[in-house]
A = this chain, B = another copy of it.
Amino acid sequence: MQGKAHTRASRAGKHTCGDSALRQTGRRTSRPGGRLAGVTLVVQKFGGTSVADADRIRAVADHIARTRRTGTSVIVVVSAMGKTTDGLIRLAEDVSRVRPGRELDMLLTAGERISMSLLCMALAELGVPAASFTGSQAGIITDTTHTKARILEVKGDRLRESLAQGVVPVVAGFQGVSSARDVTTLGRGGSDTTAVALAAALEADLCEIYTDVSGVFTADPRVVPTAHRIPRISFEEMLEIAATGGKVLALRSVEFARNHHVPLHVRSSFTWEPGTVVSEEDSSMEQPIVSSVTSDSTEAKVTITGVPDQPGIAASVFRGLADRAINVDVIVQNTSHHGTTDISFTVPRSDLEGSLEVAEQLVPRLGAVSVIADDDVATVSLVGAGMRTHPGVTATMFETLAVAGINIEMISTSPIRISCLVRAEHAERAVQVLHAAFELGG
């Protein structure tokens, strides 16, 4: 029974079957609890808003029970209830100005402990046998980087035992145990990463991410009222959307899913409607040119002016930033004039101060002129797998922004993305005009 339900002959077999299952899933999950054709094991992850109070927890338990009645085995991953994590952080701030990472992790992992045990109780009331597992009990082994640990290995033995006994494993998201036997947390988007990692390790057919929005949209519906849900999207597009300001899925969990070929289904735990399926690109399907318009106002721009145009200069700047664990996003270096150039890059605003220190220390050593900081900027991006074969997209984007009177300060591109740095005040309007220009409004 276990062999049949939870293992597969090969990864190759999985992918074929998984994709075919998924295509049906896109249609068939429209009824809550409708049979997930071909899906024998699903990971269902519920975010903080999905388990925010007793009523929500009971609703989630109902949904798990329905899924299970269709014959599909379920592994559940939960986040902490609602604002629990924020509350715990405030408490820590009240207690002490010094908050070692090890202890912060111990504190924050209390949150999922509460939500997962309550969910098991709600399942028990419905007659569904369930057992909660901490990250440690689930065998989620991480490195020792407290507050943003990376998963090294997923053992999952107890989850397999639990499934074999017909007991639904309910696993704490966001947490693991380090190789030094200490409790760790996975940082932002950690629960999504837990869900994807478990789906990969236990060879689930599908990982469902339940949240408070009904999927991935062509633009933020609060900015663009005509934005609509994207029913299917490739991992690559989803990566670009997550990296350029789309908040539905954390970049890291999408990377993990892509690397481990775990199809995702992002959907609402309030309406239970079908959401957005994220999977391998299917070349038999026609690609829309542009899938989504995103914007990101959380970054700042740093420019080092008058840099001598010599080999190794850029390297020394970005090595200095890397040493401080500062993630650089867009980098632009203009063509040199008279032997000097300007280097501009964007960093998270929270890292602006550290970035300026690095840059200012380098100015005399590099023989550069000055450092200019600018935190009044935003990036606006177009993402779409179809861009690769439609070179006119860039031109249309620039023309559209020009007509709207929006100046472009920096540009960066990938085969399926174009990002423009604009004044922060222009970001919303840029998203609106681009959404209209590419006819994304349904």
A92-117 contacts to B, CB under 8 A, are: 92, 94-100, 102-104, 106-107, 109-111, 113-114, 116-117
If A54-B91, A91-B54 touch, does A98 touch B121 (CB 8 Å cutoff)? yes
> With an 8 A cutoff between CB atoms, is A131 at the interface?
yes
Q: How large is the interface on A (under 10, 10 to 19, 20 to 34, 35 or more residues)?
A: 35 or more
> With an 8 A cutoff between CB atoms, is A120 at the interface?
yes
If A88-B114, A102-B131, A114-B88 touch, does A121 touch B95 (CB 8 Å cutoff)? yes
Q: Which of B95, B111, B113, B125 contacts A109 (CB 8 A)?
A: B113
> With an 8 A cutoff between CB atoms, is A326 at the interface?
no
Contact of B132 with A106 in the complex, beta carbons under 8 Å: yes
If A54-B95, A98-B124 touch, does A110 touch B113 (CB 8 Å cutoff)? yes
Q: Which residues of B contact A54 (CB under 8 A)?
A: 91, 94-95
> With an 8 A cutoff between CB atoms, is A373 at the interface?
no
If A91-B54, A132-B106 touch, does A97 touch B125 (CB 8 Å cutoff)? yes
**Mask: chain A, 397-417; 1 = CB below 8 Å from B; 0 = not:** 000000000000000000000
> With an 8 A cutoff between CB atoms, is A137 at the interface?
yes
Q: Which of B92, B104, B121 contacts A103 (CB 8 A)?
A: B121
> With an 8 A cutoff between CB atoms, is A181 at the interface?
yes
The CA of A99 and the CA of B57, in the complex, are separated in Å by 14
Closest partner residue, chain B, to A106 (CB atom): B117
Contact of B181 with A95 in the complex, beta carbons under 8 Å: no
Q: Which residues of B contact A113 (CB under 8 A)?
A: 106-107, 109-110, 113
Q: Which of B88, B100, B132, B183 contacts A120 (CB 8 A)?
A: B100
Contact of B114 with A107 in the complex, beta carbons under 8 Å: yes
Closest 4 CB pairs of A and B: A107-B117, A96-B121, A106-B117, A54-B94
The interface of chain A, by Cβ under 8 A from chain B, is 54, 57-58, 88, 91-92, 94-100, 102-104, 106-107, 109-111, 113-114, 116-118, 120-122, 124-125, 130-132, 134, 137, 158, 181, 183
